[in-house]
């Protein structure tokens, strides 16, 4: 038998989502989250840098996936095709487990300005990573920024719709569809 129960990190994430949803993010203390996970405050901060990050850990992975996908697109691909490749590659992050947690996470984040702030920061990182990957492909500056912005917007819109159980399409299909709509709106803009 192990000295400590395994998956301390996962237990912390679950405890945090549960408590934040039950009684609210602001009134929940880190000590409470740690206690529900069978740990202490000090250990919480060994796994996460702050009280917010426990909800967003794993999203650095999204940046990596988007950048990898864009970089791996064939040489002749247009910027938009590279963004599509990035979204396809990011599909790897969207497991059924994520789908189950999505709505609860969205609700909790929506309830707190502090959490929305972190979400905005993560989104900015996503856009920066994707724009960087496009620039490394030789896409010139204003185009790379616009394409990355559309890609990240599609990424988030698709995630929102993916969480609605009424829509049974795969995340990849939803992302392609959102990107197509955004691109159409952009080219038609006057």
Binding site for its own copies (CB under 8 A): 78-80, 113, 116-118, 120-121, 123-124, 142-143, 145-147, 149-150, 153, 181-190
Judged by CB, which is closer to its own copies: 66, or 154? Answer: 154
The two structure tokens encoding residue 71: 């970089």
Judged by beta carbon, residue 89 or residue 118, the one nearer its own copies is 118
Closest approach, Cβ 40 to its own copies, in A, equals 25
Residue 46: contacted member of DNA, its own copies, none (CB under 5 to 8 Å, by partner type): DNA
- DSSP states of the chain: --SS-S-HHHHHHHHHHHHHHHH-TTT--HHHHHHHTT--HHHHHHH-SSTTHHHHTTHHHHHHHHHHHHHTS-TT--HHHHHHHHHHHHGGG--HHHHHHHHHHHHHHHT-HHHHHHHHHHHHHHHHHHHHHHHHTT--HHHHHHHHHHHHHHHHHHHHHHHSTT--S-HHHHHHHHHHHHHHHHHT--
Site for DNA in 46-85 (CB under 7 A): 46-47, 49-52
Taking the complex as a whole, the smallest distance from the CB of residue 179 to its own copies amounts, in Å, to 11
Residues in region 12-41 near DNA by CB under 7 A: 28-31, 34, 38-41
CB of 160 to DNA, least distance (A): 27
The interface region with DNA, picked from 45-53, 105-113, 158-166, 173-181 by CB under 7 A, is: 45-53
Minimum CB separation of residue 52 from DNA in Å reads 7
């Amino acid at each position: 038998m192990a000295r400590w129960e395994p998956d301390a990190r996962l237990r912390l994430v679950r405890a945090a989502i549960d408590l934040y949803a039950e009684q609210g993010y602001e009134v929940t203390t880190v000590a409470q989250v740690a206690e529900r996970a069978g740990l202490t405050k000090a250990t919480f901060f060994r796994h996460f840098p702050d009280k917010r990050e426990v909800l967003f850990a794993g999203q650095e992975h999204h940046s990596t996936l988007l950048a990898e996908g864009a970089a791996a697109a064939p040489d002749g691909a247009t910027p938009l095709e590279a963004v599509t490749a990035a979204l396809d590659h990011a599909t790897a992050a969207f497991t059924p487990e994520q789908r189950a947690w999505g709505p609860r996470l969205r609700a909790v984040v929506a309830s707190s300005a502090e959490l929305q702030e972190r979400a905005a920061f993560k989104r900015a990182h996503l856009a920066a990573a994707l724009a960087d990957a496009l620039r490394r492909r030789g896409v010139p500056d204003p185009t790379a920024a616009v394409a990355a912005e559309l890609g990240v917007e599609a990424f988030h819109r698709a995630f929102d719709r993916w969480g609605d159980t009424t829509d049974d399409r795969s995340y990849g299909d939803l992302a392609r569809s959102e990107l197509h709509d955004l691109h159409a709106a952009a080219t038609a803009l006057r």
